[in-house]
Amino acid sequence: MHETLAYLPQILPAYIAYIVAVVSPGPAIMAIIGTSMTHGRKAGMTLSLGIFGGSLTWAFAAAAGLATLLQTYAMALELLKIFGGIYLLYLAYKAFRAVRANGEMPTAAEGPKTPGFKSLILRGYGIHVTNPKAIFAWLAIIALGMPQGAPASVAMLIIAVCGVTGFVVFMGYAILFSTPHALRIYRNARRWIEGAMAGFYCFAGIKLLTSNI
């Protein structure tokens, strides 16, 4: 443990880089915000749990060197990129359908129907794990905090500290945007919010499909 803690000066920049990355609005954060405002706190936190699982998947994959494997087999990365872009466009389509729905916000009894626990978990996981840029972000974080010759325990410490931070941030967004004040904002600007979500997902999907990774 003492040997691992000796690398804290190198780990700190990696942790700061992770904080900047995790709080920045992206498909995952926007999904948490939209779900929390539309379906409430429980749904937002469930989706956050799925996103957290996707983040950990890429974290451990980066630590295991999967990024190198994906770079070697370019076709696998290309397929992952295409699948992720199509998935984001699908979410844009669903948000656009919500924009075209009745202007009055439905009551809890009328809808919009809240997706089930499994559906929300899979949706959150899918949003994060189909974005190949996430693994390169994690790879950069681990490389930044783990100098050459460092033991594997350093990578595990980076993942643990960043993982806890990510969990708190994801859940924090879900709680913040499911407050009564946030729900009042959503009721008053539902179409604008859903329209912004549709536009964001569409932009993110097209950008992912056309990007060179």
Query: Under a CB-based contact definition with an 8 Å cutoff, are residues 51 and 28 in contact?
Result: yes
135 assigned to some structural domain: yes
pLDDT for residue 117: 93
pLDDT for residue 125: 95
10 assigned to some structural domain: no
183 assigned to some structural domain: yes
Distances (CA, A) of 45 to 83, 167, 198, 200: 25, 10, 21, 21
Q: What one-letter code names the amino acid at 203? A: F
65 assigned to some structural domain: yes
26: left (phi over 0), alpha (psi -120 to 50) or beta: beta
pLDDT for residue 110: 41
Largest Cα separation within the chain, whole Å, is: 61
Q: 86 is in which domain, residue-wise? A: 25-102+114-210
2 assigned to some structural domain: no
Tell me which long-range contacts 12-18 makes (C-beta under 8 A, separation of at least 24).
12/145, 13/144, 13/145, 14/141, 14/142, 14/144, 14/145, 14/146, 14/158, 14/162, 15/145, 15/158, 15/161, 15/162, 15/165, 17/140, 17/141, 17/144, 18/141, 18/162, 18/165, 18/166
Residues 97, 190: Cα–Cα separation, whole Å: 12
The count of domains in the chain is: 1
Q: Tens of pLDDT along 44-98?
A: 999 999 999 999 998 888 887 755 555 555 566 577 677 767 867 877 887 777 6
DSSP readout, 55-99?
HHHHHHHHHHTHHHHHHHSHHHHHHHHHHHHHHHHHHHHHHHHHH
Q: Give the pLDDT means over successive 10-residue stretches in the chain (213 positions).
A: 70 83 81 89 96 92 66 61 74 73 44 80 91 75 74 84 94 92 76 77 78 63
19 assigned to some structural domain: no
18 assigned to some structural domain: no
pTM: 0.72
